Structure 1
Amino acid sequence: MDILKVAIVGGGTAGWLAANHLGLVGVDNKQLSITLIESPDIPTVGVGEGTVPAIRQSLKKFGISEAEFITRCDATFKQSIKFVNWLDKDSHGDNNFYHHLFDMPPVMGKELTQKWLANKYRAYAENVSPQHAVCEAYKAPKNISDVEYSGSLGYAYHLNAAKFADLLAENAKTRFGVNHLKANVEQVILGNEGEIKSLVTDSHGCLDFDFYIDCSGFASLLIDKALKVPFNNKAEQLFVDKAVVVQVPTLADEKIPPFTISTAHQAGWIWDIALSTRRGVGFVYSSQYMDDETAVKKLDTYLNGQLSAHQFRTIPMTVGYRARSWEKNCVALGLAQGFLEPLEATSILLTDFAAGFLASRFPRSTQQLTSMSSRFNQVMEYAWERVVDFIKLHYCLSDRTDSQFWIDNRDPATMSDELKQRLALWQKFVPNREDFFSKFEVFDLENYLYVLYGMHFSTQETTEMNAELTELENYQKRLIQVTKQLVDNLPEQRPLLEKIKMYGLQTV
Structure 2
Amino acid sequence: MCPPRVAIYEIVTKSAGAKHVLDILHGFLGISEDRFLHEVKPLWKGSVYFKDWCGYDPFHYTFDFFVQYPDRNAPKAAEQYYYLYDTVSTDPEYRTVSEAMVEDRKSPIYFDSTGHDRYQAVAYHLDLERFNSFLVDVCEERGIEVIDDEITAVDVDDGIVESVRSDAETYCGDLYVDASGFNRVIKGELEPAFREFELPVDSAYTAKIERPLSEAVPATVVESGEAGWFWQIDTFDFRDVGYVFSSEFTPDDRAASELITHCDGAISQSDLTKYEFTSGYHTEAWEGNCVAIGNAEGFVEPLQSTALTANIQAAANLSIVLSSHGRVEPSGARDLYNAWVQRLWESIYDFISIHYRYAAGNSPFWQAAQSVPLSRRVERLEEHFDRCGYNTKIQPGTPLSGEETLEELAVFAPINFFIVMRNMGVESTLYEENSFDLPDDMKREIDEFYNSMETKAEQLLTIEEVYRGILQIASQ
1:382 corresponds to which residue?
A: 343
Distance 1:376 1:471, change over 3 A: farther
- The Cα shift of 1:468 comes to 8.5
- The Cα shift of 1:262 comes to 0.8
- The Cα shift of 1:388 comes to 0.4
State whether structure 2 residue 79 is matched by structure 1 residue 114: no
- The Cα shift of 1:328 comes to 0.8
State whether structure 2 residue 277 is matched by structure 1 residue 317: yes
The one-letter amino acid of 1:479's match is: F
- The Cα shift of 1:446 comes to 4.2
Contact 2:19 2:313 in 1 (8 A): no
2:429 corresponds to which residue?
A: 460
- The Cα shift of 1:53 comes to 7.9
Pick which of 119-128 and 260-269 moved more.
119-128
1:215 corresponds to which residue?
A: 179
Pick which of 487-496 and 153-162 moved more.
487-496
Q: Residues of 1 paired with 2:228 and 2:113: CA distance?
A: 39
Matched pairs, number: 446
Of 356, 361, 378, 1:419 maps to 378
Contact 2:340 2:410 in 1 (8 A): no
- The Cα shift of 1:128 comes to 6.8
SS in 2 for 1:393: helix
Q: How does 1:268-283 map to 2 (within 5 A)?
A: 268-283=228-243
Contact 2:279 2:301 in 1 (8 A): yes
2:356 corresponds to which residue?
A: 395
Ranges in structure 1 where 5+ consecutive residues have no aligned partner: 8-21, 28-51, 504-508
State whether structure 2 residue 299 is matched by structure 1 residue 339: yes
Q: Residues of 1 paired with 2:34 and 2:13: CA distance?
A: 26
Q: Residues of 2 paired with 1:148 and 1:391: CA distance?
A: 40
SS in 1 for 2:124: strand
- The Cα shift of 1:153 comes to 5.1
Distance 1:309 1:267, change over 3 A: closer
1:174 corresponds to which residue?
A: 141
Distance 1:187 1:26, change over 3 A: farther
2:34 corresponds to which residue?
A: 67
Contact 1:383 1:441 in 2 (8 A): yes
Q: How does 1:108-187 map to 2 (within 5 A)?
A: 108=71, 111-117=79-85, 119-120=86-87, 123=90, 127=94, 129-143=96-110, 151-152=118-119, 154-175=121-142, 177-187=143-153
Contact 2:50 2:222 in 1 (8 A): yes
- The Cα shift of 1:307 comes to 1.7
- Per-residue displacement from partner, 1:13-32 (whole Å, max 9, x unpaired)? xxxxxxxxx551699xxxxx
What's the RMSD between the two structures over aligned residues?
Answer: 3.1
Q: Residues of 2 paired with 1:101 and 1:208: CA distance?
A: 44
Of 344, 351, 358, 2:311 maps to 351
Of 202, 210, 221, 2:167 maps to 202
Pick which of 470-479 and 108-117 moved more.
108-117
SS in 2 for 1:321: strand
- Per-residue displacement from partner, 1:352-371 (whole Å, max 9, x unpaired)? 11111110010667974311
- The Cα shift of 1:345 comes to 1.6
The one-letter amino acid of 1:374's match is: D
Q: Residues of 2 paired with 1:115 and 1:296: CA distance?
A: 43
SS in 2 for 1:458: coil
Pick which of 439-448 and 383-392 moved more.
439-448
Distance 1:382 1:244, change over 3 A: same
Distance 1:259 1:86, change over 3 A: same
1:501 corresponds to which residue?
A: 471
- The Cα shift of 1:268 comes to 1.3
2:402 corresponds to which residue?
A: none
SS in 2 for 1:269: strand
2:11 corresponds to which residue?
A: 24
The one-letter amino acid of 1:58's match is: I
Contact 2:256 2:269 in 1 (8 A): no
The one-letter amino acid of 2:373's match is: T
2:6 corresponds to which residue?
A: 5
- The Cα shift of 1:497 comes to 2.6
Distance 1:147 1:262, change over 3 A: farther
Q: Residues of 2 paired with 1:476 and 1:360: CA distance?
A: 41
Distance 1:6 1:228, change over 3 A: farther
SS in 2 for 1:453: helix
State whether structure 2 residue 415 is matched by structure 1 residue 443: no
Q: Residues of 1 paired with 2:116 and 2:379: CA distance?
A: 37
- The Cα shift of 1:182 comes to 1.8
Q: TM-score, normalised by structure 1?
A: 0.80
1:87 corresponds to which residue?
A: 54
- The Cα shift of 1:151 comes to 2.3
Distance 1:26 1:108, change over 3 A: closer
- Per-residue displacement from partner, 1:309-329 (whole Å, max 9, x unpaired)? 862210111111001101011
- The Cα shift of 1:56 comes to 0.8
Distance 1:126 1:243, change over 3 A: farther
Pick which of 350-359 and 103-112 moved more.
103-112
Ranges in structure 2 where 5+ consecutive residues have no aligned partner: 398-406
Distance 1:6 1:197, change over 3 A: farther
Q: Residues of 1 paired with 2:115 and 2:250: CA distance?
A: 45
- Per-residue displacement from partner, 1:155-206 (whole Å, max 9, x unpaired)? 111110111111112112212x211112222222224x431121222122x2
Distance 1:244 1:459, change over 3 A: same
- The Cα shift of 1:443 comes to 2.0
- The Cα shift of 1:145 comes to 6.0
- The Cα shift of 1:344 comes to 1.5
Contact 1:333 1:351 in 2 (8 A): yes
SS in 1 for 2:315: helix
Contact 1:231 1:320 in 2 (8 A): yes
Q: Residues of 2 paired with 1:152 and 1:365: CA distance?
A: 37
Task: Report percent identity of matched pairs.
Answer: 23
The one-letter amino acid of 2:23's match is: Q
2:394 corresponds to which residue?
A: 434
- The Cα shift of 1:479 comes to 2.2
- The Cα shift of 1:444 comes to 2.3
SS in 2 for 1:58: helix
